[in-house]
């Protein structure tokens, strides 16, 4: 790989041992990819805190939080002092909500350990956003901006909706980018990777948040990680729709970028979206595909008695919390069911000012932050059957926790929480 003088200086230790280790990891990673060089990035989303007993034990045995950062964030068995970040860096979601450890089955000792690591992350200069949707709470990259983000649903949003440029990074590469402002110049950083190679023709209106999730789940299964060009989009989809669409497509497939012709920034026209590529295949999406996808997502749903409803995957927007609060106002969650809603801390603050948190809590539901059931593996005790308005959560939770999953609209989910029964499809 070609390195600039600045990059060689970082590799050779000018900026201290942690930066040298980070540059060493980025060079090994770039060479593995076959990248020609590194690209500058000043926008990183990753994970640097520690939330598991395994990491706690590692810290106790090997030299504290510096040892955790060295090993798990820089791939260095040599313990080096944790440096300050150079890039604007945002923390992603965690393995639990530290404000509600009891509900999530987390011991007080682990919460105390996490709080130390959160304080250390803040001292590094990492923004404690603690969400899978950093683009909702202060990190909206500009079109063309080179980023180094983890979290598949955020990556697909960053590339497709915002037109910024990121690959799906991992814990070690994102952390190394935080302290060097570099990432391999490969994949979605380069024009040729971003162009469509195959297409979808919408043959039915795709309008609601549920519609977009079903369409995304169908598309991901088909295209896997190829870049698709979607024609025939009706009403312009808003943030919750595109957030759900990308999350679904990156769960069922590995979609990191899509083009909605006439909507997304690199697809003003079909020609621009393909950028000279000839589509290898173009498939229609219509009522038959939608119905089959709904049946597939609901494959594990058998019993209609619903023990648990989870909303907020990816983390809810304030608009979605408003909608949920309106649907819940004056009602009660059924005695045999539970309703948890996940959102970023910053949006919960707004929800509280607007009175939505109080409405949600008065109904017997919870507004939680920092995590979700898939990340935390936490559901209310005794949960056998769960309902979601997110195709991603319905995809992961049966595999992770062995629960049955129902997928439907937000309204169907809230009805299920209040009646204890699934009445949707």
In the complex with other proteins, the residue whose CB is nearer, 169 or 266, is 169
Q: Does 170 bind other proteins (CB under 8 A)?
A: yes
Which residue number, 132 or 367, has a Cβ lying nearer to other proteins?
132
3-state class percentages of the chain: helix first, strand second, coil last, to nearest 5: 45, 15, 40
Nearest to 183 by CA among 47, 16, 27: 27
DSSP structure string for 194-236: HS--EEEEE-S---SHHHHHHHHHHHHHHHTTS-EEEE---SP
x/- contact string, 82-121, with other proteins (CB under 8 A)? Answer: ----------------------------------------
Give the Cα separation of 425 and 420 in Å (integer): 15
- Region from 96-104, 164-172, 270-278, 406-414 binding other proteins, contact rule CB under 8 A: 164-172
The interface region with other proteins, picked from 71-79, 289-297, 325-333, 383-391 by CB under 8 A, is: 71-79
- Determine which helix (DSSP H) or strand (DSSP E) holds 382, and give its type and residue range: none
CB of 391 to other proteins, least distance (A): 15
Radius of gyration of the chain from its Cα atoms, rounded to whole angstroms: 22
CA distances from 91 to 45, 94, 113, 118, 290 (A): 6, 9, 17, 10, 35
Residue closer to other proteins by CB (options 183, 368) is 183
- Among positive and negative, which fits the CA dihedral 241, 247, 251, 255? positive
Check residue 186 for interaction with other proteins (CB under 8 A). yes
CA atoms within 13 A on the CB side of 205: 6
Residues within window 25-54 making contact with other proteins, judged by CB under 8 A: 25, 28-29, 32-34, 54
Which phi and psi (to 5°) does residue 403 adopt?
Answer: -85, 160
Which of residues 163 and 187 has its CB atom nearest to other proteins in the complex? 187
Torsion (CA) 68, 69, 72, 73 in degrees, nearest 10: 170
Q: Which among 162-170, 197-205, 237-245, 311-319 is the span making contact with other proteins, rule CB under 8 A? A: 162-170
Count Cβ atoms below 10 Å from residue 334 Cβ, excluding itself: 19
> Minimum Å distance from CB 118 to other proteins?
18
Site string for other proteins, 350-379 (x = CB under 8 A): ------------------------x-----
Residue 132's region, left for phi above 0, alpha for psi from -120 to 50, else beta, is alpha
Footprint of other proteins on residues 187-206 (CB under 8 A)?
187
When the beta carbons of 131 and 167 are compared against other proteins, the nearer one is 167
Site stretch for other proteins (CB under 8 A), options 97-105, 146-154, 322-330, 347-355 = 146-154
Q: Summarize as ranges the residues that interact with other proteins (CB under 8 A).
A: 25, 28-29, 32-34, 54, 58, 71-72, 75, 150-152, 155, 167-173, 184, 186-187, 224-225, 254, 374, 396, 398-400
């Amino acid at each position: 790989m070609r390195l600039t003088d600045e990059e060689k200086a970082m590799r050779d230790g000018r900026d201290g041992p942690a930066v040298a280790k980070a540059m060493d990891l980025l060079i090994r990673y770039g060479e593995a990819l076959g990248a020609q060089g590194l690209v500058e990035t000043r926008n990183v989303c990753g994970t640097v805190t520690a939330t598991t007993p395994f990491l706690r034990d590692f810290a106790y045995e090997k030299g504290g939080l510096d040892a955790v950062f060295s090993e798990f964030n820089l791939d260095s068995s040599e313990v080096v002092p944790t440096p300050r970040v150079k890039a604007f860096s945002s923390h992603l979601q965690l393995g639990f909500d530290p404000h509600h450890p009891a509900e999530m089955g987390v011991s007080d000792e682990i919460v105390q350990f996490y709080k130390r690591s959160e304080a250390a992350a803040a001292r590094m200069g990492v923004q404690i956003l603690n969400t899978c949707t950093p683009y909702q709470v202060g990190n909206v990259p500009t079109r063309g901006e080179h980023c180094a983000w983890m979290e598949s649903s955020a990556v697909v949003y960053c590339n497709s909706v915002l037109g910024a440029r990121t690959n799906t990074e991992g814990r070690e590469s994102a952390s190394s980018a935080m302290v060097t402002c570099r990432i391999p110049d490969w994949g979605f950083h380069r024009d040729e990777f971003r162009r469509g190679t195959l297409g979808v023709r919408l043959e039915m209106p795709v309008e609601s948040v549920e519609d977009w999730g079903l369409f995304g789940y169908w598309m991901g299964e088909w295209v896997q990680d190829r870049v698709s060009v979607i024609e025939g989009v009706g009403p312009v989809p808003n943030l919750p729709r595109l957030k759900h669409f990308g999350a679904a497509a990156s769960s069922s497939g590995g979609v990191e970028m899509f083009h909605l012709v006439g909507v997304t920034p690199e697809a003003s026209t079909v020609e621009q979206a393909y950028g000279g590529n000839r589509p290898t295949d173009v498939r229609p999406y219509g009522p038959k595909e939608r119905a089959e996808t709904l049946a597939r997502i609901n494959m594990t749903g058998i019993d209609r008695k619903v023990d648990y409803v989870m909303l907020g995957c990816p983390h809810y927007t304030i608009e979605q919390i408003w909608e949920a609060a309106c649907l819940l106002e004056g009602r009660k969650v059924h005695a045999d069911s539970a309703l948890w809603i996940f959102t970023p801390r910053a949006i919960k603050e707004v929800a509280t000012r607007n009175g939505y948190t109080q409405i949600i809590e008065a109904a017997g539901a919870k507004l939680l932050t920092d995590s979700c059931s898939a990340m935390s593996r936490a559901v209310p005790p005794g949960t056998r059957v769960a309902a979601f308005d997110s195709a991603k959560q319905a995809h992961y939770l049966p595999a992770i926790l062995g629960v049955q999953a129902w997928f439907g609209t937000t309204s169907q989910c809230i009805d299920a929480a209040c009646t204890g029964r699934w009445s949707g499809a």
